[in-house]
Amino acid sequence: MTEKSDRCMSCGVTLIGPVGARFPCPNCGEIILRCSRCRKQSNPYTCPNCGFLGP
Give the Cα-Cα-Cα angle 24, 28, 33 (nearest 5 degrees): 35
Among candidates 4, 45, 39, which has minimal Cα distance to 27?
45
Indicate the pLDDT class of residue 1, thresholds 50, 70 and 90.
Answer: very low
Q: Please name the amino acid found at residue 3.
A: E
Each residue's pLDDT tens digit, 5-25: 789 999 999 988 777 899 999
On average, the pLDDT of the chain sits at 89
Among candidates 9, 3, 5, 4, which has minimal Cα distance to 33?
9
